[in-house]
């Protein structure tokens, strides 16, 4: 009767083997044992068959179970649900929160995490323990990456910005070129330009060239956490931490009116459109080409963008970027009528003891009497204009590269002394040019030196190579 009662709960399934479909089965009577944990109905059926005289082997065969499972079931006076035993405490438990936060930052490298745990957090466990703990974290991150959805933006809503590095041959010399890429999020049309460095002046100039190329700018620009854009984090008024933008870059963004957005830390894939653009330049433009210099590189790059990149069928949109750009161009904020930030930016500099001021890695002379004074520098076309209290005191052509010097001999101490002597000798005639600096009292206090100082400075390496005598 008991067997019939149990069997009555099985619909459309004949024979005792069907009973193993009743209830829930999970692996193991307890951790480390073979067989399955059986449900309540199956437990009852096994005990019924045992009371009917069936052997353990017969019961195991009928229910398709391991004999160890059947014996374990028969030893129980009452059915008990399976409860997973809690894992034993490990030496890594105190570091679990740190591990979950740090692992993505080091790309789930168990070796790096183990080294940091041992060196910085007093961890006494083994490398194997760390490796086993990192494995599920890595798997979870991989699953999250597979389930990401591509984020599409409306026309003119967002552009993405990044740098890529390419080593190419200039004449007979291998040179690293830093390629700036800005990709419009909707049309996927991109602007690329090569630079020798990734300095702030390069980044800002590249932006302005891109705006001119597109005829406007997007509402938001997305970046990773490059130091020319963000310097770290700071607390806002609510006590929350937020990114602290580089002051010069923040002023640049305000000047042009766009909103800078940042990728989540260690999630650079969120700007995948421009990442793909950088790879496309490296894989399609560079191979098989030779370049005379950086200018030749950029000329060829501009032709390639117009003839190839803008006109290929994009793998995601299945349209040509230049054709899709027709829908985005009208949504961009026009920039043609706005003055260049680089041209309008006024920079303050303190004149050094060698009567030079540093601008973008190069040095330029000012009148000797201004040592220790603050001057204002602004760019006008291809020249630097240097003013002191609103008065123009020096003008120099913008030098290319870095560690170059532009020195006007009339700025030196010998010229200052001659000017002082002329002022004491009497008023200058109509044909006598005005002195570059009207500080007679300071000029009188200047140590007397003639122009031979330049030879000594050259020999001592103070001026070095690259000196340009702008005026003789």
Tell me how far apart the alpha carbons of residues 180 and 166 are, in angstroms, rounded to a whole number.
11
Tell me how far apart the alpha carbons of residues 409 and 182 are, in angstroms, rounded to a whole number.
43
**What does residue 241 show for φ and ψ, rounded to 5 degrees?**
-90, 135
What is the predicted pLDDT for the residue at 35? 38
Crossing angle of helices 110-120 and 127-146, in 10° steps, is 130
What is the predicted pLDDT for the residue at 82? 60
Q: Which residues partner with 374 through β-bridges?
A: 350
Q: Which residue has tokens 């122009």?
A: 451
Question: 36-37 and 26-27: which strand pairing?
Answer: antiparallel
Rounded mean pLDDT, 140-153: 62
Tell me how far apart the alpha carbons of residues 426 and 435 are, in angstroms, rounded to a whole number.
13
pLDDT digits (tens, 9 = 90+) for 134-143: 988 888 777 6
The candidate with the shortest Cα–Cα distance to 65, out of 88, 42, 91, 89, is 42
Q: What would the two tokens of residue 356 be?
A: 């030079």
The rounded mean pLDDT for the chain is 78
CA angle 396-247-404, nearest 5°?
25
Residue 429, exposed/middle/buried by CB under 10 A (0-12, 13-18, 19+)?
Answer: exposed
- Is the pLDDT confidence value at 22 over 60? no
pLDDT digits (tens, 9 = 90+) for 291-330: 999 999 999 999 999 999 999 999 888 999 999 999 999 9
What is the predicted pLDDT for the residue at 433? 44
Banded model confidence at residue 237, pLDDT cuts 50, 70, 90: low
Rounded mean pLDDT, 38-60: 87
Banded model confidence at residue 395, pLDDT cuts 50, 70, 90: very high
Greater pLDDT, 220 or 429: 220
Q: For 128, how many CA atoms within 13 A lie in the half-sphere containing its CB?
A: 0
**What does residue 344 show for φ and ψ, rounded to 5 degrees?**
-90, -15
What is the predicted pLDDT for the residue at 205? 92
Banded model confidence at residue 238, pLDDT cuts 50, 70, 90: low
- Is the pLDDT confidence value at 468 over 50? no
- Is the pLDDT confidence value at 118 over 60? yes
Question: 374-380 and 362-365: which strand pairing?
Answer: unpaired
Q: What would the two tokens of residue 285 be?
A: 């433009």
- Is the pLDDT confidence value at 20 over 60? no
pLDDT digits (tens, 9 = 90+) for 356-379: 999 888 999 999 899 999 999 988
SS3 content of the chain, % helix, strand, coil (to 5): 40, 20, 40
What is the predicted pLDDT for the residue at 14? 37
Tell me how far apart the alpha carbons of residues 365 and 53 are, in angstroms, rounded to a whole number.
109
Three-class SS of 394-447: EEEECCCCCCCEEECHHHCHHHHHHHHHHHHHCCCCCCCCCCCCCCHHHHHCCC
**What does residue 321 show for φ and ψ, rounded to 5 degrees?**
-55, -40
Rounded mean pLDDT, 276-297: 91
The answer to whether 403 touches 371, Cβ cutoff 8 Å, is no
- Is the pLDDT confidence value at 159 over 90? yes
Beta strands across the sheet bearing 190-195: 190-195, 173-184, 158-170, 220-223, 259-262
Rounded mean pLDDT, 407-412: 90
Residues 449, 451, 452, 458: what is their CA dihedral angle, to the nearest 10 degrees? 110
Rounded mean pLDDT, 444-450: 41
Other Cβ atoms closer than 10 A to 344: 11
What is the predicted pLDDT for the residue at 273? 80
Banded model confidence at residue 83, pLDDT cuts 50, 70, 90: low
Rounded mean pLDDT, 389-396: 93
* Backbone φ/ψ region at 452: left (φ over 0), alpha (ψ -120 to 50), beta: alpha
The answer to whether 41 touches 9, Cβ cutoff 8 Å, is yes
Q: Which helix (H) or strand (E) holds 101?
A: helix 96-102
Tell me how far apart the alpha carbons of residues 258 and 158 are, in angstroms, rounded to a whole number.
10
Tell me how far apart the alpha carbons of residues 185 and 155 are, in angstroms, rounded to a whole number.
8
């Amino acid at each position: 009767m008991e067997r019939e009662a149990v069997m009555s709960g099985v619909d459309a399934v004949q024979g005792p083997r069907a009973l193993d479909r009743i209830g829930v089965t999970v692996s193991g009577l307890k951790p480390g044992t073979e067989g399955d944990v059986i449900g309540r109905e199956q437990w009852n059926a096994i005990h019924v068959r045992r009371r009917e005289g069936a052997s353990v082997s017969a019961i195991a065969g009928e229910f398709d179970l391991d004999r160890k499972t059947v014996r374990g079931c028969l030893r129980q006076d009452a059915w008990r649900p399976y409860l997973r035993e809690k894992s034993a405490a490990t030496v890594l438990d105190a570091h679990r929160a740190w591990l979950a936060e740090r692992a993505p930052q080091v790309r789930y490298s168990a070796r790096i995490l183990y080294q940091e745990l041992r060196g910085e957090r007093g961890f006494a466990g083994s490398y194997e323990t760390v490796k086993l703990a990192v494995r599920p974290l890595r798997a979870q991150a991989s699953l999250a990456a597979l389930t990401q959805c591509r984020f599409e933006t409306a026309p003119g809503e967002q552009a993405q910005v990044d740098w890529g590095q390419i080593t190419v041959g200039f004449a007979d010399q291998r040179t690293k070129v830093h390629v700036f890429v800005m990709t419009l999020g909707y049309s996927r049309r991109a602007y690329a330009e090569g630079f020798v460095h990734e300095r702030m002046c390069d980044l800002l100039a590249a932006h302005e060239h891109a705006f001119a190329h597109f005829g406007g700018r997007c509402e938001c620009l997305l970046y990773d956490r490059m130091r020319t854009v963000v310097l770290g984090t700071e607390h806002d008024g609510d006590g929350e931490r937020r990114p602290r933008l580089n002051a010069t870059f923040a002023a640049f963004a305000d000047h042009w009116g766009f909103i800078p957005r940042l990728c989540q830390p260690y999630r650079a894939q969120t700007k995948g459109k421009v990442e793909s653009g950088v790879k496309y330049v490296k894989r399609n433009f560079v191979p098989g080409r030779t370049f005379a210099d950086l200018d030749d590189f950029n000329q060829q790059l501009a032709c390639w963008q117009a003839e190839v990149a803008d006109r290929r069928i994009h793998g995601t949109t299945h349209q040509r970027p230049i054709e899709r750009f027709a829908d985005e161009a009208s949504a961009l904020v026009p920039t043609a009528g706005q003055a260049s930030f680089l041209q309008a930016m006024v920079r303050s500099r303190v004149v050094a003891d060698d009567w030079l001021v540093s601008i973008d890695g190069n040095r330029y002379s000012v009148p000797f009497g201004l040592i220790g004074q603050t001057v204002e520098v602004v760019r006008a076309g291809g020249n630097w204009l240097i003013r002191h209290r609103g008065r123009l005191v020096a003008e120099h052509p913008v030098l290319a590269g870095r560690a170059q010097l532009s020195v006007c001999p009339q700025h030196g101490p010998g010229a200052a002394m001659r000017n002082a002597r002329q002022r004491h000798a009497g008023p200058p005639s109509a044909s006598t040019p005005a002195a570059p600096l009207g500080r007679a009292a300071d000029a009188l206090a200047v140590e007397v030196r003639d122009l031979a100082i330049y030879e000594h400075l050259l020999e001592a390496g103070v001026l070095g190579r690259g000196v340009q005598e702008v005026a003789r």
